[in-house]
Amino acid sequence: MARLLTIEEALERILSHVRPAGAELVQTEESAGRVLAAPVVALTDLPPFPSSAMDGFAVRAAETPGAFPVAVRIAAGRPADRMLRPGEAMGIATGGALPDGADAVVPIERAVDRDDEVEIEEAASAGDNVRPRGGDVRAGDEVLPAGTRVSASQIGAIAAAGLAQVSCAIRPRAVVLTTGTELRPAGSTLGPGEIYESNGAMLAAVLRSAGALVERLDPVADDETSHRAALERGLRADVLVTTGGVSVGPHDLVRAIEAELGVEEVFWGVAVRPGKPLAFGVRDRTLVFGLPGNPVSSLVGAELFVRPAVLALQGATLVHSRWDRGTLVAPLRRNAARDELARARSRDGEAGVELVPVSGQESHMIVRAAGADALVLVPRGDGEVGAGTSVRYLRLA
Ligand code: AMP
Ligand code: MG
């Protein structure tokens, strides 16, 4: 086998084959998790008018302190029908429109309200407790750039800027196919040599959380006919993710049948542990991932490579998983040839995040891995990475 690609090299090759799909209009309300296909531009100044930041009294700052007749009481959504004349004050609620003539709001707590008169004991300054028009954003300015993945705060901004709909990337269609004669669905009774199929639901969850629409096919046994039919079907999607059958054994059929079906293999094998025998290829616009069957290998491969590809298909600006830094609490042995992603649990320490490797780092140990919330990068090399070392880690969603 040729030199294995590093994680970065493999990801670069995958992303170079991504052809982003088109866009569609999405109700703002439904846009969480979607990627903006065009910038969102404000339809109005925000705030649209100078407004009060407090419940209080609108005044001319230069006239304070003093006692003022209360001319009008302004509620949010009910502006005054005239300007503030010299010598008077107006009651005003938070969010109420500041009347013309006023330049400050004195909070209720700093005023003595006597129904038709208010006494203000301290001098106010112009601008006090006033939210200027356009202070957050101006009409026509960009609220969010294209490529943004919409989160809760961003939905708020889109709605505040007046947009009922936004242009979003079409969600990629993904098919998940698990392979292995030994696999049985959870809920059934296991026969001799059988195990519960667990990668399918896990990979579907990764894909959905990256924005894909997921179809699951029934697991296929390790025979050519069932592989062929299922793979042919999966190749109609934007992304086909298989697990198992991608190694070197006599029952590993995925790559050979995919080649028959016209998939061009871009690479096979990445210098990562777990997850080395990972295959990536393309047929037309379809990205084809062959993940290993061991559940932890499959999870790591999906987090490192499939998630970024699905985000890239949607034109997301941030597709690379974010590597954070933390301190390793117990030593981890290095692998001479491959970068390792060790499963660890993170905790808050005195000097930042501490990472405690979980016991049971083998690639079939999905239950042990489920106790982890971080994948710690152990760079290939000799010896070990000692306790107290600063390491990079990927937070598991
Ligand atoms: P393979 O890559 O097909 O050689 O499978 C490697 C190991 O992963 C074997 O022990 C399989 O039984 C197991 N395995 C394969 N696919 C799955 C799956 N979908 N769910 C759980 N374990 C699996
Ligand atoms: Mg297998």
Q: Looking at ligand 1, which residue's alpha carbon is closest to its atom 3?
A: 244
Please tell me the distance between residue 245's alpha carbon and the centre of ligand 2 in angstroms: 4
* Residues with Cβ within 8 Å of residue 284, at least 6 apart in sequence: none
Q: Looking at ligand 1, which residue's alpha carbon is closest to its atom 10?
A: 294
Please tell me the distance between residue 297's alpha carbon and the centre of ligand 2 in angstroms: 13
Contact 163, 46 (CB under 8 A): no
Please tell me the distance between residue 181's alpha carbon and the centre of ligand 1 in angstroms: 10
Q: Looking at ligand 1, which residue's alpha carbon is closest to its atom 7?
A: 294
Q: Closest-lying ligand to the alpha carbon of 176?
A: 1
Contact 309, 45 (CB under 8 A): no
pTM check: above 0.85: yes
Mean pLDDT by 10 residues, the chain (397 residues): 88 97 96 98 98 98 98 98 98 98 98 96 98 98 98 97 98 98 97 98 98 98 97 98 96 97 98 96 98 97 98 96 94 96 97 96 94 97 97 93
d(C-alpha 384, C-alpha 397), whole Å: 27
Tell me which of 179, 183, 203 to substitute to probe ligand 1's pocket, judged by most ligand atoms within 8 Å of the beta carbon: 183
Residues with CB under 6 Å of ligand 1 are: 178, 180, 182-183, 195, 197-200, 243-245, 247, 292-295, 364
Question: What is the predicted pLDDT for the residue at 1?
Answer: 53
Q: What is the CA angle 247-252-258, rounded to 5?
A: 100
**CA 144 to centroid of chain Cα atoms:** 15
Please tell me the distance between residue 380's alpha carbon and the centre of ligand 1 in angstroms: 25
Please tell me the distance between residue 113's alpha carbon and the centre of ligand 2 in angstroms: 79
Q: Closest-lying ligand to the alpha carbon of 199?
A: 1
Question: What is the predicted pLDDT for the residue at 318?
Answer: 95
* Residues with Cβ within 8 Å of residue 307, at least 6 apart in sequence: 206, 209, 210, 321
Question: What is the predicted pLDDT for the residue at 115?
Answer: 87
d(C-alpha 204, C-alpha 176), whole Å: 7
Ligand 1 atom at shortest distance from the alpha carbon of 178 = 19
Ligand 1 atom at shortest distance from the alpha carbon of 219 = 19
For 367, which DSSP code? H
Tell me which of 179, 196, 199 to substitute to probe ligand 1's pocket, judged by most ligand atoms within 8 Å of the beta carbon: 199
In one-letter notation, the amino acid at residue 86 is P
